[in-house]
Amino acid sequence: MAPQKTFYIETFGCQMNVHDSEKVIGTLEQQGYARVETEDAADLILYNTCSIRDKAEQKVFHRLNDYKALYKQGKRFGVLGCVAQQEGERIFERAPFVSLVSGSASYRRLPEMLVQIEQGATRVTGLDDRQTSETFETEFTARSNPHRGYITIIEGCDKFCAYCVVPYTRGKERSRRSASVLAEARRMADSGFTEIQLLGQNVNSYRDPDRLCTFAELLAAVGQVPGIRRVRFTTSHPRDFTRDIVDAIDAVPSLCDHVHLPVQSGSSRVLHLMAREYTRDQYLERIAWIKAAKRPISMTTDIIAGFPGETPQDFEATIDLLSEVQYDGVFAFKYSPRPNTPSLSMPDSVPEEEKSRRLQILLDRQREIQRVNYEKHLGQVLETMVEGLNPARAQIIGRTSQNKTLNFTTSQPIAPAPGVYLPVRVTKAFPNSLVGEAVVQ
């Protein structure tokens, strides 16, 4: 019997990439490959890459450089994901020992691409671009967590925000059939999953190809699958965020008390330059819907500091928006010019130092807001899902419906297992996490 083929995979970037890797792993295992934990132990070394900012993109080239000597031992390298799609065959020029370059829109062809590599092909590509209308669905997804798992509902993006590479790296927007999404949710529930996170670059522009339901209806339907206790969704685009999503959260208790709604800037002028297609007021209108929900809903956002042309007044408007919305979390980034994007050629770039300064002001202001927000939980009893143990601190790591980390202790002799839900009373609050004690039931 021939020895089993082995592969190693490292994932960079967003949750879409993490989930794509789960599908790639399942597909490879189906093809007879066994997963190993180090580059040294693998026949095939895969990097699933991110190109959202320059720093993320450089990581894969550092990795390739660190491990290229392994090529002489007969190991083969594959670059997957967003850098693969963006750079295409240029990767072979920069790293000639790479044998496979494939973007996410071509993963359906992975089995045949693997065969080509096994037969000795040295430059195998999967670079379907915006022409493709295929989705990557596989029943072999190797989910890494047995309790909470992702389901892709929409792939690609048609928004073309001025700064963003995603429409070029992940192809055109294509929604998955609602029946297929629900079947996957039921299969997951049957095998013990209790939390599902619906994924897409822009889940709000979901359009069921069979026209059976809207995004809000799909969300509600997944939330009603027996056995599913929590449903999350990410990421949202304010332009397509409709009121019926909040109505669904009101009506279905399993839909989590959390909405991630990237704003990018608090200045309508900058939003226009970014081609976001909404104004500050329109964004705040959506926030008002969320704040009017029956349960308190936690809100988080993404912000870009130092977009070309952002004046001190524009930046001030963003800081002012933070105070107005009172987010529970902000992912803030310095603007990074990306290939192919319209903002690459926009004038009035903000100097790097000034971008850093604005980012720091933003993070400091947000930390203050979170300190106050998190303290509001003191004394509350929150349903918490156990994620694991922190032996160093003798604490159990948990997560609330609002997606907040709640580390707690228990008077019980045996710690609750990952995946268990239990009530926890909050006794201490930090700007990014809560501490508590399990309530004896």
* Residues that bind ligand 5AD in the complex, under the rule CB under 6 A: 52-53, 163-164, 262, 264, 302, 304, 333, 335-336, 338
152 makes contact, choosing from ligand SF4, ligand 5AD, none, with CB < 5 to 8 Å by partner type, with: none
DSSP string, 233-276: EE---GGG--HHHHHHHHH-TTB-SEEE---B-S-HHHHHHTT-
Using rule CB under 6 A, residue 169 touches ligand SF4? yes
Q: Does 50 bind ligand SF4 (CB under 6 A)?
A: yes
Which CB sits closer to ligand SF4, 166 or 382? 166
Q: Pick from ligand SF4, ligand 5AD, none: which does 53 bind, CB < 5 to 8 A by kind? A: ligand 5AD
Q: What is the rounded distance in angstroms from the CA atom of residue 366 to the CA atom of residue 355? A: 16
CB of 18 to ligand SF4, least distance (A): 9
Please report how close the Cβ of residue 302 comes to ligand 5AD at its closest, in angstroms: 3
Identify the three-state secondary structure at position 122: coil
Q: Output DSSP code: residue 177.
A: P
Q: Between residues 109 and 357, which has the closer beta carbon with respect to ligand 5AD?
A: 357
Stretch of residues binding ligand SF4 (CB under 6 A), selected from 37-45, 116-124, 166-174, 375-383 = 166-174
Question: Counting Cβ atoms within 10 Å, is residue 349 exposed (0-12), middle (13-18) or buried (19+)?
Answer: middle
Cβ partners under 8 Å of residue 11, min gap 6: 17, 18, 21, 48
What is the rounded radius of gyration, in angstroms, for the C-alpha atoms of the chain?
Answer: 23
Dist. CA 404–CA 363, nearest whole Å: 18
Q: Which partner in ligand 5AD, ligand SF4, none is near 276 (CB below 5 to 8 A by kind)?
A: none
CA–CA gap between residue 262 and residue 329 (Å, rounded): 11
Residue 50 partner contact from ligand SF4, ligand 5AD, none using kind-dependent CB cut-offs of 5 to 8 Å: ligand SF4
Q: Which is nearer to ligand SF4, 12 or 77 (CB)?
A: 12
Q: Does 17 bind ligand SF4 (CB under 6 A)?
A: yes
Scanning 13-21, 70-78, 382-390, 394-402 for contacts with ligand SF4 by CB under 6 A, the matching segment is 13-21
CA 89, 94, 97 angle in degrees (round to 5)? 85
Question: Applying CB under 6 A, which of residues 51, 267, 341, 373 lies at the interface with ligand SF4?
Answer: 51
- Shortest CB 114 distance to ligand SF4, Å: 22
Give the Cα separation of 329 and 332 in Å (integer).
10
Decide which of ligand SF4, ligand 5AD, none touches 338; Cβ closer than 5 to 8 Å per partner kind: ligand 5AD
- Quickly count: other Cβ atoms within 10 Å of residue 270's Cβ: 22
84 binds ligand SF4 (CB under 6 A): no
The entry of ligand SF4, ligand 5AD, none near residue 169 (CB within 5 to 8 angstroms by kind) is ligand SF4
For ligand 5AD, the closer CB: 338 or 358: 338
The DSSP annotation for 333-402 comes to: EE----TT-GGGG-S-PPPHHHHHHHHHHHHHHHHHHHHHHHHTTTT-EEEEEEEEEEGGGTEEEEEETT
Stretch that binds ligand SF4, among 8-16, 216-224, 341-349, 354-362 (CB under 6 A): 8-16
d(CA 394, CA 254): 30
Considering only 13, 306, 308, 436, the residue that binds ligand SF4 (CB under 6 A) is 13
By CB under 6 A, which span of 162-170, 218-226, 305-313, 412-420 interacts with ligand SF4?
162-170
Choose among 223, 228, 227, 220: nearest CA to 244.
220
> Is the bond leading into 38 cis (omega within 30 degrees of zero)?
no
Query: Out of ligand 5AD, ligand SF4, none, which partner does residue 262 contact, by CB within 5 to 8 A per kind?
Result: ligand 5AD
From candidates 9, 42, 166, 218, binder to ligand SF4 by CB under 6 A: 166
Q: Judged by CB, which is closer to ligand SF4: 16, or 386?
A: 16
Distances in Å between the alpha carbon of 305 and those of 179, 216, 265, 276, 347? 40, 31, 8, 15, 16
- Position closest to ligand 5AD via CB: 302
Binding site for ligand SF4 (CB under 6 A): 13-14, 16-17, 50-52, 81-82, 165-166, 169-170
